[in-house]
Amino acid sequence: MDTTELKKNKKSLIGIFFLLVIIISIAAFFSLQFLDSFTATIILRNKNLLLFLLSLLLMLLFAVLFAFIHQKKSVEELNKFITSDVSEKALLSHYQIITRYANDIILLMDQKGLIVEVNQQALRTYGYTRKEMVNQNVVLVFAPRSIRGMSKIVKAFESREGVIFEAVHRKKNGEEFPVEISARLIEISGETLIQNSIRDISEKNKIVEELEFSQTLLQKVFDSLEEAIFLINPIERKIENVNHAAIKMFGYEKEELLNRGSEILFGDTSRFELFIKQSFSIYSKQDFYETELTMQRKNGEVIPVYFYGKALIDAKKKFSLIIGVIRDISLIKKTEQTLIDAKNKAEEMNRLKSNFLSNMSHELRTPLISILGFAEIMSDSSEDTTIQDSSRNILQGGKRLLETLNLILQFSKIEAEKITISNKLIDVVSTVKTVTEKYKLFAAQKNLKLFFENYADECYTETDKEMFEEIISQLLNNALKFTEEGMVRVILNKDESDTEKYFTVEIADTGIGISSQYCSVIFDEFRQASEGVSRGYEGLGLGLTIVKRYTSLLNGTVNLKSEIDKGSSFLLRFPMIETGQPELFVPPMEKKKPFSLTEFFKETKFENNLPLVLLVEDDPSTSDVITIFLHQVCQLEYANRSDKALQKAVEKKFDVILMDINLGKGPGGKEAMELIKKNTMNSETPVIAVTAYALDNEKQTLLAAGFADYISKPFNKLEIIEILTSHLQK
């Protein structure tokens, strides 16, 4: 519908409205003329009602006319909008909706720099009202130090291209804040304007600063670490980053490492490829990889390193980088090698020491059997008192030498920590009594009284019997040696409480005593109350050291009380096992009947009835001593080498074989014993080991190897006869 048609309709409607008013007025006038008196009376009586209805009708007509006029005005405005640029108006409406609710600050400015329009976000941020901002120069929102940023907006006009830059804006209250401005040209209603989309980047800058600080701090930490650190890209075979320690360790500049492949650290590509292959294989199962390998410095030096690598996984969970921590372990390897060399040297020295002690034992014990053996033979066989006295002196000197040797060997075993403890249940009363009885003769020779006092009745313990007996022996030997007159008492007692049960063994003498200054060191090795060239008593000063060490190994204690010229008292204290329990029953020891040559010869009146014994011994002097000792006890055949012993064992059945362990060249006694038992008719014949070695628990070793018994050189006549006949009787 165009404007001409609207005007025609308007005039027609107005004419119709006034025509209706006139017709209604004329009709009402003529109607009143023809009304009867009754009707007229009713009308007059209700004239007010009729006037109201008439007024209402007129108001309705006016309302219809007003609506028509308003419709006409809307149609005119619509017609005006239609005649304008439709697309321009639609764009403006769309722009207003977008900018009104945008989160960013929107400022529209013209070419003069005046603010044309602002959105709600701008008003909230800057603190101005719309009236305070519109038609104001945009400088209003710029901080003084950032006014130069306006030139960039001008460039947007000149180049007619958008620009993005950062500036500092200022609020109404003077507070400044950083912003990022995106300025671009737009046209509205044919007018060119600049739209400034402004974003507060305070938080962004804060995050960036914190990130930069973190990166700087991380880089400082990265560079300050002593271990070399590499970021390796295994796919591209290149180094992404290194720290100062890596540069220092390998001698390359950082750019050299970053510009060249990782293989420069390995010397050649093949070794690096092998490393990468191993890395991939391990990283596929776990996220770290550690190993020891060798790498090459710039100067060509190859160094051992410890490499710890961790796989870095990207957002797609793909293996992207290896962070490798590399530690130069050259010094560690040198130290390890030094320690290994020192350990090997120490072990070699220990082996040499053990061999020396073992050889010393053998070389001293072997001649001692000749010295002591022939001295005993001379003492028994000669009727010349001079020869008898000389023989006894030789025996006494030889026994002293043997005692010294035994002390040295025991101490050496303790120092080498080669002591093996074999605990078993023992009867303390009988053990202490037996050891004491052995020293009765020694005490009598010095005109001393030796007493054993038992106040414990029954007493049992679990301990190493041989070590326990050695402790008592050493203390008794010391007490008798340092006592010139009076007595030595061995006192056994119990020390019981509600929770603990112990027994004590006290060895008290009336000897020379020990001064207080020596009481604290008397248990140290090689210490004596009388020391130096002017010492008054024999000995090495090892007896009490062995007592202290053995007592500690058996979970006991030893204490000393002494007074000069009044004597000394050593108190031993050991754990005790309560008796009366069935599982602790100790079977009575079988009493061994002493061997009697008289009874033996009653059964073997003729020499050809004597048992046949094979003696395997390479030392002629020892063979002679044993021959004399065993005269009329057995028939002896000799062999000085293992091959001769094997040949004799093949030819004859022997009752007992006495086997020396060290047979010089060729197989030793142990090998000879094994060959005899395996290849001859003497597989069941008891073989007794005869040895001058006394280290490393040799007795237990030889018994475990298959020997029937063991006797250590030097031995006397009674000992060799007793051990031999014990197996002959079986």
The mean-pLDDT minimum among 87-91, 114-118, 180-184 falls in 87-91
Average pLDDT over residues 302-329: 79
CB-side exposure of 539: number of CA atoms within 13 Å?
19
Contacting residues for 187 by C-beta, under 8 A, at least 6 apart: 193
Element containing residue 191 per DSSP (H, E): strand 191-200
As a whole-number percent, the residues of the chain with pLDDT over 90 amount to 13
- Report the distance separating Cα 253 and Cα 703, nearest Å: 71
- The chain-wide mean pLDDT, for the chain, equals 77
Contact in structure between 680 and 659 (CB atoms under 8 Å): no
What pLDDT does 110 receive?
A: 86
Contact in structure between 479 and 488 (CB atoms under 8 Å): yes
| E strand intervals along 480-621 | 487-496, 501-509, 557-563, 567-575, 612-616
What pLDDT does 615 receive?
A: 92
For residue 586, what are its two tokens?
């100790």
Hey, is 698 helix, strand or coil? helix
Contact in structure between 491 and 453 (CB atoms under 8 Å): yes
pLDDT band at 74 (very low <50, low <70, confident <90, very high): low
Could you tell me the residue ranges of all domains in the chain?
3-83, 88-205, 225-328, 334-386+593-730, 419-584
pLDDT band at 319 (very low <50, low <70, confident <90, very high): low
Q: Which tens digits make up the pLDDT trace of 328-343?
A: 888 888 888 888 998 8
Q: Do domains 334-386+593-730 and 419-584 have the same CATH topology?
A: no
* Domain covering 334-386+593-730: architecture: 3-Layer(aba) Sandwich (3.40)
Tell if the pTM clears 0.85, that is, is over it. no
* Model confidence at 242: pLDDT above 60: yes
**Superfamily of structural domain 88-205:** PAS domain (3.30.450.20)
- Report the distance separating Cα 376 and Cα 387, nearest Å: 11
The class of domain 419-584 in CATH terms is alpha beta
Q: What are the backbone dihedrals phi and psi of residue 426, each rounded to the nearest 5 degrees, phi first? A: -130, 155
More confident residue, 124 or 382: 124
**The amino acid at 399:** K
What pLDDT does 358 receive?
A: 67
First-residue to last-residue Cα distance in the chain: 149
- Report the distance separating Cα 188 and Cα 409, nearest Å: 115
CATH assignment, 225-328? 3.30.450.20
Q: Is the peptide bond before 587 cis (omega within 30 degrees of 0)?
A: no
CB-side exposure of 46: number of CA atoms within 13 Å?
9
- Report the distance separating Cα 613 and Cα 632, nearest Å: 12
Contacting residues for 644 by C-beta, under 8 A, at least 6 apart: none
For residue 341, what are its two tokens?
């060399």
What pLDDT does 284 receive?
A: 60
Select the highest-mean-pLDDT range: 28-42, 78-92, 119-133, 214-228.
Answer: 119-133
What pLDDT does 91 receive?
A: 45
For residue 164, what are its two tokens?
């993005």
* Model confidence at 581: pLDDT above 60: no
* Model confidence at 484: pLDDT above 60: yes
- Report the distance separating Cα 645 and Cα 673, nearest Å: 9
More confident residue, 157 or 601: 157
What pLDDT does 468 receive?
A: 92
The mean-pLDDT minimum among 34-43, 120-129, 178-187 falls in 34-43
Q: Which tens digits make up the pLDDT trace of 456-478?
A: 888 899 998 888 998 998 899 88
Average pLDDT over residues 615-621: 88
Contacting residues for 473 by C-beta, under 8 A, at least 6 apart: 435, 438, 439
Q: Which tens digits make up the pLDDT trace of 511-538?
A: 888 877 676 667 665 545 444 333 444 4
SS percent in the chain: helix, strand, coil, step 5: 50, 20, 25
Nearest alpha-carbon partner for 686 in 644, 643, 639, 649: 649
What pLDDT does 580 receive?
A: 46
Q: Name the DSSP class of 635.
A: E
Average pLDDT over residues 546-563: 88
pLDDT band at 97 (very low <50, low <70, confident <90, very high): low
Report the Cα 166 to chain-centroid distance in Å: 55
More confident residue, 230 or 7: 230
What pLDDT does 147 receive?
A: 79
Contact in structure between 430 and 457 (CB atoms under 8 Å): no
**Considering just the CA atoms, what is the radius of gyration of the chain in Å?**
61
Contact in structure between 197 and 103 (CB atoms under 8 Å): no
Q: Which tens digits make up the pLDDT trace of 390-417?
A: 877 777 777 777 777 777 777 666 666 6
Q: Which tens digits make up the pLDDT trace of 713-727?
A: 888 888 888 888 888
* Model confidence at 302: pLDDT above 80: yes
What pLDDT does 457 receive?
A: 81
Average pLDDT over residues 657-664: 86
Report the Cα 683 to chain-centroid distance in Å: 55
